[in-house]
Amino acid sequence: MSAPTPTGSHPTAEQSRRGVPWLWILLGALLLALAVWAIAAAVNDDDDEATAPVAVSESADPVEEPDVDVSPTETAPEPSPSADTPSADAPSVDAPSVDGSAAAAGALLVGGTDVLSGEAFSADALSTDADLTAMAGQTVDAREVKVLEVVADEAFYVGPDAGRSVLVRLPEFAAGESPFKVEAGDTVNLSGTLRPVDQALLDEMGAYDPAKRLEPGQVYVQADKISGVR
């Protein structure tokens, strides 16, 4: 017969071991809390290092900027107008004539000399003064000269007045009469050659009364170009 199991208020060793697990649970919770705290502390340390200001060394040499010359630059003075330099408001220069001279309005140039402004004229035509006859063969350039009188189909006098006038003969045309019509009071431009009056011209012009004023030794203008000015 087996001995009866004693009963009483004192737990056995096995029962004591069964009541201890809650201590392990408490210890594990404590260790877990310590681990969480350690991780949080480590994270805070990293953030502090990232936000810490970077120290700048004052011993570093500053970068030297190149010197810039700010003095005003010298500008070339504007050229002052001179007599040789025409201004924008200056009147236009007359076109050069065939011999390089410039014929002013109302002038008749023979070799560059305005013969209408001189005194070497007779009452009806260029006189036989040596200065004018010596010009025979030279080029003539006239600009805006007035037609005083038409003495033939192809001949007329030009000049400022009857005391200063020159006989002009139009160029010959194969068809006969010149197509250019001239009337007293017209203004013309012309170019040609100064020629002496010879017998051939007198014979050709003899049928016209005004042509009777011509004499051998005088001069006239044989035109090669002529245009009207209105």
Between 27-36, 160-169, 204-213, the lowest mean confidence (pLDDT) is in 204-213
Domain 107-229 class, CATH top level: mainly beta
Higher pLDDT, 11 or 144: 144
The partner residues of 121 in beta bridges, in order of sequence, read: 126
The model's pLDDT over 171-204, given as tens digits with 9 standing for 90+, comes to 775 455 666 788 899 999 999 999 998 888 888 7
* pLDDT, mean over the chain: 69
Residue 11: which pLDDT band, with cuts at 50, 70 and 90?
A: low
pLDDT of amino acid 140:
92
pLDDT of amino acid 191:
93
Higher pLDDT, 78 or 120: 78
pLDDT of residue 54 exceeding 60, the answer is: no
Query: Which of 148, 149, 115, 147 is closest to 131 using CA atoms?
Result: 115
Out of 76-80, 102-106, 159-163, the most confident range is: 159-163
| Pair type for strands 164-169 and 219-229 | parallel
- Phi and psi (nearest 5°) for 28? -65, -40
Q: Long-range contacts made by residues 129-138, C-beta under 8 angstroms, separation at least 24?
A: 132/219, 133/196, 133/217, 133/219, 135/110, 135/111, 135/194, 135/219, 136/194, 136/195, 136/196, 136/219, 137/193, 137/194, 137/195, 138/99, 138/110, 138/111, 138/193, 138/194
**Prediction pTM value:** 0.50
pLDDT of amino acid 85:
42
pLDDT of residue 122 exceeding 70, the answer is: no
| Average of per-residue pLDDT across 100-111 | 71
> Three-class SS string for the chain?
CCCCCCCCCCCCHHHHHHCCHHHHHHHHHHHHHHHHHHHHHHHHHHHHHHHCCCCCCCCCCCCCCCCCCCCCCCCCCCCCCCCCCCCCCCCCCCCECCCCCECCCCEEEECCEEHHHCCCECCCCECCCHHHHCCCCCEEEEEEEEEEEEEECCEEEEEEECCEEEEEECCCECCECCCCCCCCCCEEEEEEEEEECCHHHHHHHCCCHHHHHCCCCCEEEEEEEEEEEC
| Average of per-residue pLDDT across 126-155 | 79
Out of 28-37, 97-106, 184-193, the most confident range is: 184-193
